[in-house]
A and B are shown apart, each in its own frame.
Chain A
Amino acid sequence: MIKAAIIGLGKMGMSHAAILGGLPNVEMAAMCDTDSLLQSAFKKLTKIQCYTDYKKMIEEVKPDCVYVVTPTKLHYEMVMFALEHGCHVFCEKPFALTAEQGEKMVQMAKAKGLVNQVGYHNRYIGTFNEMKRLLAEGVIGKPFYFMGEAYGPVVLKSKGGTWRSDKKNGGGCIEDYAAHVLNLINYVTGSTLVDCKGIQMPSIFSGEVDDAVYGSLYLANGLKGQISVNWSDDTVRKMTTSVKVHGDGGKLEADATTLKIYVKEDKPQYGLQKGWNFKYITDVTDQVEFNLRGEEYTAESEAFINSILTGKVDDRNSFESALQTDYIIKKMEEEAA
């Protein structure tokens, strides 16, 4: 039995708590949040121990693992404290406010030999994983272009209010939405974004922060592409993320539900015929033990918990890989400024 504790009970924290509560080998032991309404709700309605001081929680409960699901600016002190106390850490994205903080967290987790993971859940979606596999196997030949996109209806009016509308605290569309796309491009291509040009980060409604991100991106392996992300887009019902890669032998286009594959020749060893081929989420999704809002959110926690239980670490979302995403975000912000 793995004893888990969560710091921060916002939308993601709540979701993680419920998923952990639904996993058979996890005891959802304690939560920490300063919101008085949440405190009363959890005290009155659940068996989860409630704290307002995360240090006290970690010292008293002695959890095996800690989920840090707070605004980005708080990640560093909380993650470091948990690691120092020997806890495995799952941290929500984006990872760190500064590169220096991110590097220290990576070093500490390594030095302590603890499992560390960041919540880039797209890496657990079947269609993107299949795209990664086919790209690596050279199914579309030599790639020459990629495009990463995400659209969603988060900020549709001019009014602030939360940390997401505060730049210093890690708010804005680039940290919230674009981070997912950047992280996914690194994952799918198996390379690392190292540079950018012509970045535009317009504010549509938010005033202080960006509501959209556009521009050109460069991978370490030489592949070039673009990003287009907008969280003030009410033409979609919910966040919609997609990645396309074009090669001299075909195209791969994936979103969370469908992978489209265009090949110029038959590829019988992959079951692909010349022309368009489709793979659906139903073909490429593994069943999970408990489903709250999509298999990927359970799968990422199952991977984290299994890494702790077995010592065989699934490091597809390590602190280190999330730090790479932070690096390119900082570059893009500098480029746009």
Chain B
Amino acid sequence: MMDRVILGDNQFFAVNHLSDERSRAQAIRFKEDQAIIDVLDNARACGINTFMCTTHDRIANICKYMRERPEEYKDFKFHPCMPYAHKYANAVTELGILGTLKAYIPGNILAVTGKAGMAYMRKDFPTLLELLIDAEMKMFEGMNTPVIFLQNVIVDLLYGLGMDELFVHYAEYIKKKYNAEPGFITMNMPRMVDMCERLGIENPIICSSINKIGFRMSGTIEEYEEYLNSDRKFRPMAMQCLAAGALKPAEAMEYVTRFPKIESVLFGASSKAHIQQTKDLIEQGFARHQ
């Protein structure tokens, strides 16, 4: 089981779906890594021990800090989400696809010796995928990473292109190499559930927007609710419960906790009071609906 309440990282990296101005204010507030660590410590004090984060360069600094204090952070868990898409998107615009692979896969992919070069030469995509996963996971060395997520931009892209094989390979590699559960973030939850069933990816962890006003719930909210109320085998995680801030925490969490099938709720907050309040709302909500 994943923890019921999980802290996200959007607030640290100037991601705000409702306001570009607020995202600038966040960028200023979290300029120093210590500001991020302070929030994580506050979350721990509230009893939240899982941090779901993109493989942003700055997370490497946070991991380094925790590695140096193993006793203090021994119960702390990361749910890495890869890749940090803007890094690659900007690189592809600037360097092209080959240039991007060269820049981000360790070793020389044009040299035929070594795993990278061989994989590139043979157009062995599953192996190239493994190399990219390893490159993204490097920063988490020595950390506890029980679930490793693929970001929605990649999940939904591969889904749309019909690259089914890569999902299967991702799931297998994450289990084998990292002894972790594969997770999938998506903007299209029902389709993803269907696909995992079709591909034999059993009981997948699927993280998607789930909120009262249907924001970023592609297709219809009714379809989402039908899946959440069904006995389909998947482990839903809810994100964007506040619909980018359009909903107040109490009504937002009241809605999400109506679905006992939801294993975890992801949220972002910076102040200790806000973190505690949200955690209480989630836990009390689930308890009430049991």
A282 touches B93 (CB 8 A): no
Kindly list chain A residues whose C-beta atoms are within 8 Å of the C-beta of B250: none
Would A18 and B246 count as touching, CB distance under 8 A? Answer: no
Q: Does A47 contact B (CB under 8 A)?
A: yes
Interface window among A138-146, A154-162, A219-227: A154-162
Of B20, B89, B153, B160, which contacts A258 at CB under 8 A? B20
B286 contacts the other chain (CB 8 A): no
Contact pick for A162, options B14, B19, B95, B163, CB 8 Å: B95
Q: A293 an interface residue at 8 Å Cβ cutoff?
A: yes
Q: Which of A237, A255, A291 contacts B218 (CB 8 A)?
A: A291
Contact A291 B188 (CB under 8 A): yes
**How far, in whole Å, are A22 and B125 apart by their CA atoms in the complex?**
22
Residues of B contacting A164 with CB < 8 Å?
93-94
Given contacts A282-B246, A287-B217, contact A18 B156 (CB under 8 A): yes
Interface residue B157 (Cβ < 8 Å from any Cβ of A): yes
Least CB separation from B209: chain A residue: A291
- Identity of the chain B residue whose Cβ is nearest the Cβ of A176 in the assembled complex: B93
The reply to whether B93 and A162 form a contact with Cβ atoms under 8 Å apart is yes
Given contacts A11-B93, A258-B18, contact A281 B244 (CB under 8 A): yes
Number of cross-chain contacts by CB at 8 Å: 136
Look across to chain A and name the residue whose beta carbon is closest to the beta carbon of B218: A291
Bound complex: CA of A46 vs CA of B158, how far in Å? 9
Residue A333 at the chain B interface, CB threshold 8 Å: no
Which chain A residues border B96 with CB–CB below 8 Å?
A: 161-162
* Chain B residues whose CB sits within 8 angstroms of the CB of A108 once the complex forms: none
Contact present for A22 and B19 (CB under 8 Å): no
CB distance from B185 to the nearest CB of A (A): 12
Q: Give A38 to B156 CA distance when docked, in angstroms.
A: 18
Q: 1/0 per position for A34-58, CB-CB distance to B under 8 A?
A: 0101101110111110000000000
Judged by a CB distance under 8 angstroms, whether A84 is at the interface is: no
Which residues of A are found within 8 Å of B94, using beta-carbon distances?
154-155, 159, 161-162, 164
B98:A37 contact, CB within 8 angstroms: yes
Contacts A282-B215, A290-B191, A291-B216 known; A255 to B160 CB distance under 8 Å? no
Residues of B contacting A: mostly: helix
Of residues 265 through 288 on chain A, the ones whose CB sits less than 8 Å from some CB of chain B are 280-283, 285, 287-288
Q: Check A46–B163 contact: CB distance below 8 A.
A: yes
A240 at the interface (CB under 8 A from B): yes
A38→B123 CA distance, assembly (Å): 9
Q: Please name all residues of chain B whose beta carbon is closer than 8 Å to the beta carbon of A41 when the two chains form the complex.
A: 123, 125
Cβ-based interface call for B262 (8 A): no
Cβ contacts under 8 Å, B188 to chain A: 22, 290-291
Q: Report the Cα distance A287→B217, complex, angstroms.
A: 8
Residues of A within 8 A of B162 (CB): 21, 28, 45-48
Chain B interfacial positions (CB closer than 8 Å to A): 13-21, 23-24, 27, 86, 89-90, 92-99, 120, 123, 125, 153, 156-166, 187-188, 191, 213-220, 243-246
Closest 7 CB pairs of A and B: A18-B160, A40-B123, A291-B187, A21-B160, A282-B246, A291-B218, A22-B160
